[in-house]
Every structure is written in structure tokens, then in C-alpha cells.
Amino acid sequence: MEMALNAEFIRNLERQMEKLDRVLKKFNEKALSKKPEGKWSAKEIIGHLGDCEYVYGVRMRIALAEPGNTLQPFDQNLWVEKLKHQEKEIGKLVETLKGLRRANLTVLKDVKETDWEKYGMHIERGKMTVEGMVKLLAEHFERHLEQVERVAGN
């Protein structure tokens, strides 16, 4: 992987937090709390993004420090339910997400060129490189941020 591409990945992850702020400014707590039948509310989606930031942070650290080690799956619906994201204030959910993203960026900014290909073995997904995890995390964030706008805007 090229050094410029690494820097672009990192800039993209940083910009996503700014984009999150712009999206959330459009809605009040009530709109963000609306829960469509059988789906997550915008608050639950933000909580889920925090959960994923945490999980992928651990996975990236495992791949970097213990290459080839096992990466565990998690039940995202159970986490959203049991961690009670719907009951939390949006500000707390955002604060948690941003703190986790900052912590992950601190790690990623120190990744050596050769370390982006280090990997862990996910029980369901197979080999996951640090580079692949960063791409997946960024794409996942974008999809869910669009979902936040749809859910809160209806």
C-alpha cells in the first residue's frame, strides 16, 4: 500500500466525524429517537457505529500486535438492545463514537507501511487485513450515516 493512500484513509476517517456533526445538526433529539417498526432509530444507529468503532479498534490492534490471531464476531442487534442505545442522549453516543474514533486514529497514524497488510482471522469473514478493516469501517460508517438521515428525516 502506498504511503499517500494510507494518509488518505486516515483523512477520510477524520472527515467522517465532521460529516457526522453536519448531519446531526439537521435533527433534534425527538427526530433522532424515532424508531421505525422493526428497525433501529437514528440514535441506535449512532450507538451501533460506536460499537463497531470499538470492535474494529480491537480487531485492528489484534492484527497489528498478534498477526494471524482469531477475530471474534459480535451480535450487533444484541449489543444495540443490551447497551440501551435508544435510552441514551445523542450527545453521549456521539461523544463515545468520536472518542473511540480518535483512539483508533492514534493507532492508525503510527502504522508502518508494511503493517497495513497484517491480518487477523475472522471466524466468519476469514482473513481481514488492517487495510481491509479500515476500508470496511469507513464504508460501513457512510452507509449508516445515510441511514441516519433517512430514519430521522421521515
Q: What is the set of domains in the chain, with CATH numbers?
A: 3-22+41-153 (1.20.120.450)
pLDDT digits (tens, 9 = 90+) for 75-134: 999 999 999 999 999 999 999 999 999 999 999 999 999 999 999 999 999 999 999 999
Cell numbers representing residue 3 in the block: 504511503
pLDDT for the residue numbered 138: 95
What span, in angstroms and rounded, lies between the C-alpha atoms of 74 and 76?
6
pTM of the model: 0.94
CA distance 42 to 93: 11
